[in-house]
Amino acid sequence: LNLTVAPNGGNVTSPLQYGLMFEDINFSGDGGIYAELVRNRAFQGSPVYPSNLTAWKPVNGAVLSLQNLSIPLSDVLPTSMRVAASNATVGAVGFANSGWWGIDVRVQKYSGSFWVKGDYNGSFRAALVSDITNETFGSAVISARTSSSKWSEYNYTLIPDAAAPNSNNSLIITFDAAAVSGSSLDFHLISLFPPTYKDRPNGMRVDLMEALAGLNPSFLRLPGGNNIEGDHPPYLWYWNQTIGPLKDRPGRPGTWTYENTDGLGLVEFLWWCEDLEIEPVLAVWSGLYLDDTVVSNTSLQTYVQYALDELEFLMGSTDTPYGALRASLGYPDPFSIKYVEVGNEDNLNKGNGSYSSYRFPDFYNAIHGAYPDITIIASTVAVDPFSENASGDYHQYTRPDHMVGQFDFFDNMDRRHPILIGEYAIVQSNEAGQAGVSWDEARSSFPFWIGTVAEAIFLIGAERNADNILGASYAPTFQNLNKWQWAPDLISYTADPSQDVLSTSWHMLQLMSEVRITETLPTSGGAFGPAYWVAGVNDDRGSHILKTAVYNSTGDVPMTVSFNSINAGTTANLTVLTAPGAYSYNDIGSDIVKGNSTILTASSAGAFTFYLPNLSISVLEVAGT
Ligand code: AHR
């Protein structure tokens, strides 16, 4: 290839470009990025997933049971855990929690709390203990005088003297059996947090936030995905049940086979955005459940108002009812919402066309009327019937060959409507006779290299049209390797941060997102395939850039690239990512992506010459230009 990059004539790139998508799937909120270490801390349940004692075990002969007491901790958390000691029990009695498939113990400050009810004058002991050796790594003693007539909250901190060798550890809380002999104490909302990202209370796991920060994202699409929709009535994602003190959050049955605690709620999502300095792309419920139940035209106004209330809660002055509610919870300063998506995957044949006939128009008109500056995104790309000003959301899960075939998809899009690529991923390998994904077949466990290269080509296609693409986010983002519902995922993990898996696609995105083109430039001198590229400048970095991915070449692709106004002797940095095999992938303890950076010098004609191997992703950046 002999490419000449034109000095102008391209298009200005959307400021979002690369971002994140989050929904609680794969134990990615509870058991994932939400740093709470205690699993099932408040025995939350619903008719779908009734309250249970998962993750709890008695210690020293205690008998654990669920109780709905006449004095509950709160109206929304009616079920607590009774810990009964028999007359024969001597010494410390209590309960253990095994965490989200283990608890990571290191020498750092853990902050805990619990509520208790029952007559007791003594002390509690909280300890982090090995499940295998019974070794105690750290403990705290909490003096207490509790009563059977009310719930009392206790806080504690715990700093282990030593790190545990693995995450097979439990939190154990005990009390003096003699002081309650033959009787019992009731416990609720038993919590333990490690240090969190940027020290947020009720915050996020540091390693996973750092993995996200490493992607240099610009936005976070939240809180779904399917999870905002709810499986069936009445279990939509109720924003106003995810705010305020934890004891006032009921939780809900999520759409991914488990109850959500909603400890990671609306405000925590906004903090997440603040901490990564990224824009929220806030999804509001659009009147459609996953079982295809649709809210009728006559009843929809309630939900439109519900979305407006959510926006007032986030952005309204403290003189408004919901702005005042926000201030009363401790956040007087408004958040900023510039992007709102109406629903998730409301493609037009779902809900009998109701999205186009009344649901989207009603939401659009109300939100646009109240907040004309907000970019409103339909959750489909078939936005035509709605409004000239609406954006759309395109999702693509497929196989490598098919995704590479979509390289020019965005060249041919309806340019009246910018689109978000809210979800995409290669989920299955190439297979003869299979163009797209087969949903009834197994998907790959992890992103794999040829798929990652195909994703890069798809994204290069998007970058070439980046004036009309709001941004792109891989989905799903997270996977707890102990239990999950959807693979492949961008980042996988266990309780032990040393086991984090940054996938092949994570590495590709890190490179693509780190070096941003702010204005594309046309190129001439070659046809796409097996190399696919986009060229442009980055006005902030003052650089010229060429991003290239090579797919199915028979050998190295020779590249000569000349940029206007680049003189002989100018240097450029070329970073090339490769991997040992098309279907190689990252797993716990292995990282197969190889990054190689070299400095190139421009020839007398101002051109850079280099070779790109098959299945490579590269960025050439000429700084100071
Ligand atoms: O990312 C997994 C799921 O795929 C999302 O919840 C849904 O939007 C899509 O179908």
DSSP 394-463: EEEEE-HHHHHHTTTGGGGS-TTS-EEEEEEEE-S--BTTB-S--TTSPPPSS-BHHHHHHHHHHHHHHH
CA distances from 354 to 288, 292, 359 (A): 9, 11, 6
Calculate helix-pair angle for 321-328, 300-315, nearest 10 degrees. 50
Alpha-carbon distance values, 344 to 16, 299, 348 (Å): 19, 19, 12
Q: How far is CA 92 from the centre of its chain?
A: 41
Report pLDDT digits (tens) over 370-421: 999 999 999 998 876 567 689 999 999 999 999 999 999 999 888 888 999 9
The tokens of 323 are what? 């702005």
Expressed in angstroms and rounded, the spacing between residue 109 Cα and the centre of ligand 1 is 36
User: In 10 A of CB 62, how many CB atoms?
Assistant: 23
Best probe residue, ligand 1, of 27, 342, 377, 395 (max atoms within 8 Å of C-beta): 395
C-alpha span between 173 and 92 (Å, rounded): 9
Strand 152-158 to 79-84 pairing:
unpaired
Q: What is the pLDDT of residue 224?
A: 87
E strand segments, 45-91? 56-59, 63-68, 79-84
Paired with 84 in beta bridges are 63, 184
Those residues of the chain that have pLDDT short of 50 are: none
Residue 24 Cα to ligand 1 middle (Å)? 11
Closest of 338, 418, 346 to residue 379, by C-alpha: 346
Peptide bond into 225 cis (omega under 30): yes
CB-CB contact of 140 with 157 (8 Å)? yes
Backbone angles phi, psi at 189, to 5 degrees: 45, 65
- Which SS3 state, helix, strand or coil, does residue 615 take? coil
What are the E-state strand segments in 473-515? 478-480, 491-493, 501-502
Which residues form ligand 1's pocket by a CB distance below 6 Å? Answer: 23, 224-226, 344-345, 423, 475-476, 486
Residue nearest to atom 3 of ligand 1 (CA): 225
The atom number, within ligand 1, closest to the CA of 21 reads 1
3-class secondary structure per residue, 92-161? EEEEEECECCECCCCCCCEEEEEEEECCEEEEEEEEEEECCCCCEEEEEEEEEEECCCCCEEEEEEECCC
Spacing, Cα 423 to ligand 1 middle (Å): 7
- HEC assignment per residue over 549-601: EECCCCCCEEEEEEECCCCCCCEEEEEEEECCCCCCECECCECCCEEEEEEEE
Residue owning the nearest CA to atom 4 of ligand 1: 225
Q: Tokens representing 33?
A: 């990025």
What are the strands of the beta sheet with 557-563, ordered from one edge?
523-524, 2-5, 557-563, 607-612
pLDDT score recorded for residue 415: 84
Task: Give the predicted TM-score (pTM) of the model.
Answer: 0.97
| Count, residues in the chain | 625
Strand intervals (E) in 255-317: 259-260, 279-284
C-beta neighbour count of 91 within 10 angstroms: 11
Helix, strand, coil tally for the chain in percent (to 5): 20, 35, 45
d(CA 454, CA 350): 29
What's the maximum distance between 2 C-alpha atoms anywhere in the chain?
92
In ligand 1, the atom with minimum distance to the C-alpha of 423 is 1
Task: Tell me whether 0.95 is exceeded by the ipTM.
Answer: yes
Nearest CA to ligand 1 atom 9: 225
CA of 285 to the centre of ligand 1 (A): 15
Give CA torsion, residues 202, 232, 485, 406, to 10 deg: -100
**Nearest alpha carbon, ligand 1 atom 8:** 225
Give the model's pLDDT for residue 223: 97
Share above pLDDT 70 across residues of the chain, in percent, rounded to a whole number: 99
Q: What are phi and psi of 19, to 5 degrees?
A: -150, -160
> Alpha-carbon distance 157 to 63, whole Å?
26
Contact 43, 66 (CB under 8 A): yes
Q: How many A from CA of 548 to the centre of ligand 1?
A: 29
Closest-lying ligand 1 atom to the alpha carbon of residue 23: 6
CB 578 within 8 A of CB 596: yes
Question: What tokens were used for 513?
Answer: 């997102």
Please tell me whether residue 322 adopts helix, strand or coil conformation. helix
Eight-state DSSP code of residue 333 = S
Nearest to 286 by CA among 341, 234, 222, 206: 341
Residue of 125, 261, 256 lying closest to 189 (CA atoms): 261
- Decide: 558 and 542 in contact? Cβ < 8 Å: no
pLDDT tens digits, one per residue of 20-29: 999 999 999 9
Measured from the Cα of 397, ligand 1's closest atom is: 4
| CA of residue 514 to ligand 1 center, whole Å | 26
Tell which atom from ligand 1 comes closest to the C-alpha of 224.
6
Tell me the best of 26, 28, 344 to mutate to test the pocket of ligand 1, counting ligand atoms within 8 Å of each CB and taking the most.
344
